[in-house]
Every structure is written in structure tokens, then in C-alpha cells.
């Protein structure tokens, strides 16, 4: 939903509304992010977008802020930086209201609250911003529209809490997902904490919780695995050098995969004109990790037994992610910084575990790393039930690959 200029001009002067926040400038980044978090939580149940007006004083008058591309880009980058989770549904525009240049940040109510900024829940009560209470969190959690939830946020009715590795969640995940001061208050039970983080609803774990934290995830989601295959040649019939099926808790699977990617990268030696020996990695590790993590986050886990596949040939690496492109993503906008989430809960979990730092930039960062290392650009193949990324080795061309 986008407000008209007339509606926004009225909101500029409405000093008591819980749908608008005014800021003279973008200098107080923490306050801006707290308000975005609060609008996404929509505690008053307005069911309307909240609006942050940057360039407007508290009394509704114009702050004469110069709105340039740098300010717009910096404001828009808040969406994907991973400090507000689940990712807020927001737009950023330059508008001229009553002759005043303004950055208008419009934030939709989240379908899956509570939303946190750096591990804390923020809400608005009238024109005031405050940290959410236990009762606020409970109210927000009970509001989720289960029928509209993505697969990873739905409950797995056949599973129980005993399926989860509770010790790991309590000792490792909660401190990474919830601010330590909030945890130290010790006013929330373990069950309430799980509920607040969308890992359970009632006493039933969500599919995302099982994929990430079950003692045996494949018992519930058979495709929750990564198949690693190292081959001696350029075709699938070449001799196998290493084959592993990585299963278990999500953090363990990702770390083991990262280790495999690292130890399999060879260093190629070349001699420069001055007879100086140079050693160049066959692949930039960060590029392979970005593509592999992207495959794990965005794959389809529903109705398939297929694992993510990492096939390492002599001249290339192929990373295949089950499930076609999702939502608004297409072959035209793929890898351009735009994104849509089939598994928003898993994306949040990966961020809290430290495996995803900047949402929407995985593919661009991989492309940049490959370019800087002298590798050919990655190629992507989009099928109805599969997305495959192919990365050529340093000094090779994907056009020359043989199968």
C-alpha cells in the first residue's frame, strides 16, 4: 500500500498518530531502525503501513533536508542488512510534501511477528516508541496468520519438542538471536522464547525449527541435506574422489560444507615476467560459500527428497538448489540485489548463526569475488524445480567444458 501525497501531508501534522514517525535527518540510525521494527510489529493492529518521514521536524515542519541518491540508497539498505529480523516489508521513496523534500519509508505490518532489531522487540503505543514487554511479544506471536505462512514457519503437527536439540538452542542459538540483556532478565520461559522466535507454535515445532535444530532433521524433512561430490574429470561418469552426504543440525551442515569447500580449493602456480612465482586459488572461497548458502536458504524443502547438490568437477563447480525461482524473482532480476524469500525463518536463522550478513547481495558478492580472482562469471540455469549455479575454475571458460 502506498499513501497519497495528501495522506502523507496530513500525517506530517498528526502528532498523536501511531502510524507516523518524523525525523529531521537520518543521523540517528538506531532510532530509525527501532521505528521500522515497531511499524512491522504493528502492536495497535492498525493493519496499515507505518510511515517514517525523514526530513520533517517533530512539530511537522520542514527540516530542509537535501534528499540525494546516497541518502535514499542508505535508507533502502536497511531492509537487507540483517539487523531487523524477519526482514521488514518496506519501500523507500523521495517525495515532495508541502514543498518539502522528504524520504518516505513505508513499512508494512509483518505477517510473522514479533520482529526484532538486534535481538529486541520494539513497538509503538500512540506516538511513543518503547521496547516490547513479554505480554506484547505474546500478543504479537498469537497474531500470526498461519494460513498465509511459508512452509518453514508452519507447524509440523507430527513432531514434538523432544525432536529438537534443546541444549543447542538454549546455549548457542538463543544468545545469538536475542539481546543478552533481554535474556539476562530471565522473565521468559524457554517455551516462550521458542514461541517468540517462531520456532514453535503452541507446543508444536515449526518446519524451520526442525530443519535447523532437530537432532535428526532428515527424519522429518528428507531433503534437508547437502550432497557433496568431487570428481576427477569434467563429466558425471568420471571417477569419484570424495563423496559425502551432510546431514544434521543446520549449523553443523553449513560448517562442514564450508570446510569441504575450503580444503578442495587448489592453488595454481604461475610465473610472471620477472620469474616471480604467483599462486592463485582455483576458486575464491567466499564466492562458493555465498552460492552454497544461497542454495540452502532459498531451496524448496516441501514435497521433495532432493538435497542441495555441490558437484565439483575438474574444471567447474555446480551448485544445484531444489525448487525453481520463487515469488517475484525471475531470470531477469536474479542476482541484481533484489530478493524474495521462500524460507524467511531459515534466512533469519542463518543470519543469527552468522552465515548470512547482507541479504540480497549473495549473488552480486559472489560475482565480484569471481571477477577479482580471474574466474569467468557464474552461469545460472533456471528450471521449474531446480536452480543451478555453475562456476568455472580460474583461467578456464565455461564454454569449453566437456561432459
Domain at 375, CATH number: 3.30.565.60
Would you state the pLDDT for residue 212? 98
Q: Both 316 and 190 in a single domain?
A: no
Taking alpha carbons only, the member of 79, 393, 127, 4 closest to residue 401 is 393
Going from the C-alpha of 131 to that of each of 2, 138, 155, 192, 342, the distances in angstroms are 27, 14, 28, 17, 29
Q: Which residue has the cell 552460492?
A: 291
Q: Is residue 137 part of a domain?
A: no
Coil, strand or helix at 365: helix
Going from the C-alpha of 175 to that of each of 118, 163, 248, 295, 367, the distances in angstroms are 11, 21, 21, 26, 33
Q: Both 76 and 173 in a single domain?
A: no
DSSP calls for 188-219 = S-HHHHHHHTTSEETTEEBHHHHHHHBSSGGG
Q: Is residue 389 part of a domain?
A: yes
Q: Is residue 374 part of a domain?
A: yes
Would you state the pLDDT for residue 180? 86
Q: Both 234 and 329 in a single domain?
A: yes
Q: Is residue 345 part of a domain?
A: yes
C-alpha to C-alpha distance for 370 and 391, rounded to whole angstroms: 8
Copy the grid coordinates of residue 198. 517462531
Which of 85, 109, 131 finishes a domain? 131
Q: Tell me, rounded to whole angstroms, the distance of Cα 178 from its chain centroid.
A: 17
Contact 396, 315 (CB under 8 A): yes
Taking alpha carbons only, the member of 109, 89, 101 closest to residue 5 is 101
Q: Both 195 and 242 in a single domain?
A: no
Copy the grid coordinates of residue 367. 560475482
Q: Both 264 and 313 in a single domain?
A: yes
CATH code for the domain of 84: 3.30.950.30
Q: Is residue 139 part of a domain?
A: no
Q: Is residue 306 part of a domain?
A: yes
Q: Both 283 and 323 in a single domain?
A: yes
Q: Both 260 and 377 in a single domain?
A: yes
Question: For the chain, how many structural domains are there in total?
Answer: 3
Beta strands in 24-151 (DSSP E): 50-54, 84-85, 89-97, 100-108, 116-117, 120-125, 128-131
Q: Where are the alpha helices (DSSP H) in 277-343?
A: 285-298
> What domain range is 203 assigned to?
145-215
209: region left, alpha or beta (phi > 0 left; psi from -120 to 50 alpha)? alpha
Q: Is residue 113 part of a domain?
A: yes
Which of 75, 105, 131 finishes a domain? 131
Q: Both 233 and 104 in a single domain?
A: no
Q: Both 22 and 119 in a single domain?
A: yes
Which of 182, 215, 248 finishes a domain? 215
Would you state the pLDDT for residue 403? 42
Q: Tell me, rounded to whole angstroms, the distance of Cα 186 from its chain centroid.
A: 28
Q: What angle do CA 152, 187, 213 make, to 5 degrees?
A: 25
Taking alpha carbons only, the member of 350, 373, 233, 248 closest to residue 299 is 350
Q: Both 65 and 21 in a single domain?
A: yes
DSSP bridge pairs for 388: 320, 381
Q: Both 319 and 349 in a single domain?
A: yes
Taking alpha carbons only, the member of 361, 360, 378 closest to residue 283 is 378
Would you state the pLDDT for residue 274? 58
Would you state the pLDDT for residue 146? 57
Q: How many CB atoms lie within 10 A of CB 52?
A: 27
C-alpha to C-alpha distance for 228 and 333, rounded to whole angstroms: 29
Q: Which pLDDT tens digit goes with each residue over 155-209?
A: 999 899 999 999 999 999 999 999 888 888 767 788 888 998 999 988 899 999 9
Q: Both 291 and 255 in a single domain?
A: yes
Q: Is residue 105 part of a domain?
A: yes
CB contact set of 173 (below 8 Å; sequence gap of 6+): 213, 349, 352, 353
C-alpha to C-alpha distance for 164 and 183, rounded to whole angstroms: 20
C-alpha to C-alpha distance for 65 and 103, rounded to whole angstroms: 9
Would you state the pLDDT for residue 276? 63
**Segments in the chain below pLDDT 50:** 402-403
Half-sphere exposure at residue 108, Cβ-oriented, CA atoms within 13 angstroms: 12
Amino acid at each position: 500500500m502506498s499513501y497519497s501525497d495528501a495522506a502523507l501531508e496530513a500525517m506530517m501534522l498528526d502528532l498523536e498518530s501511531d502510524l507516523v514517525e518524523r525525523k529531521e535527518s537520518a543521523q540517528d540510525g538506531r532510532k530509525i531502525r527501532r521505528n521500522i521494527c515497531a511499524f512491522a510489529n504493528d502492536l495497535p493492529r492498525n493493519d496499515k503501513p507505518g510511515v517514517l518521514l525523514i526530513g520533517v521536524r517533530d512539530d511537522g515542519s520542514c527540516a530542509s533536508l537535501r534528499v540525494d541518491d546516497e541518502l535514499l540508497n542508505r535508507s533502502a539498505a536497511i531492509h537487507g542488512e540483517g539487523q531487523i529480523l524477519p526482514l521488514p516489508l518496506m519501500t523507500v521513496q523521495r517525495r515532495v510534501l508541502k514543498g518539502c523534500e522528504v524520504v518516505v519509508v513505508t513499512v508494512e505490518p509483518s505477517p510473522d511477528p514479533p520482529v526484532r532489531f538486534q535481538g529486541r522487540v520494539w513497538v509503538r503505543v500512540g506516538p511513543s516508541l518503547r521496547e516490547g514487554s513479554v505480554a506484547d511479544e505474546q500478543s504479537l506471536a498469537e497474531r500470526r496468520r498461519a494460513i498465509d505462512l511459508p512452509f518453514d514457519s508452519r507447524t509440523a503437527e507430527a513432531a514434538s519438542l523432544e525432536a529438537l536439540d534443546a541444549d543447542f538452542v538454549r546455549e548457542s542459538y538463543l544468545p545469538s538471536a536475542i539481546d543478552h540483556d533481554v535474556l539476562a532478565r530471565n522473565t521468559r520461559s524457554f517455551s516462550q522464547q521458542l514461541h517468540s522466535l517462531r520456532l514453535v507454535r503452541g507446543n508444536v515445532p515449526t518446519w524451520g525449527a526442525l530443519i535447523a535444530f532437530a537432532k535428526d532433521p532428515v527424519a522429518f524433512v528428507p531433503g534437508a541435506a547437502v550432497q557433496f561430490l568431487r570428481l576427477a574429470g569434467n563429466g558425471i561418469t568420471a571417477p569419484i574422489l570424495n563423496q559425502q552426504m551432510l546431514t544434521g543440525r543446520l549449523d553443523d551442515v553449513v560448517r562442514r560444507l564450508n570446510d569441504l569447500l575450503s580444503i578442495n580449493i587448489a592453488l595454481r602456480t604461475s610465473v610472471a615476467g620477472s620469474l616471480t612465482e604467483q599462486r592463485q586459488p582455483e576458486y575464491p572461497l567466499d564466492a562458493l560459500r555465498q552460492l552454497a548458502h544461497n542454495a540452502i536458504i532459498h531451496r524448496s524443502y516441501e514435497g521433495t527428497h532432493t538435497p542441495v547438490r555441490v558437484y565439483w568437477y575438474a574444471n567447474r563447480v555446480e551448485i544445484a538448489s531444489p525448487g525453481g525461482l520463487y515469488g517475484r524473482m525471475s531470470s531477469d532480476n536474479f542476482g541484481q540485489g533484489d530478493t524474495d524469500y521462500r524460507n524467511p525463518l531459515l534466512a533469519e536463522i542463518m543470519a543469527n548463526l552468522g552465515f548470512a550478513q547482507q541479504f540480497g547481495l549473495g549473488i552480486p558478492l559472489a560475482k565480484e569475488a569471481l571477477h577479482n580472482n580471474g574466474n569467468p562469471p557464474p552461469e545460472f540455469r533456471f528450471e521449474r524445480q531446480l536452480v543451478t549455479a555453475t562456476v568455472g575454475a580460474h583461467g578456464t571458460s565455461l564454454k569449453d567444458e566437456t561432459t
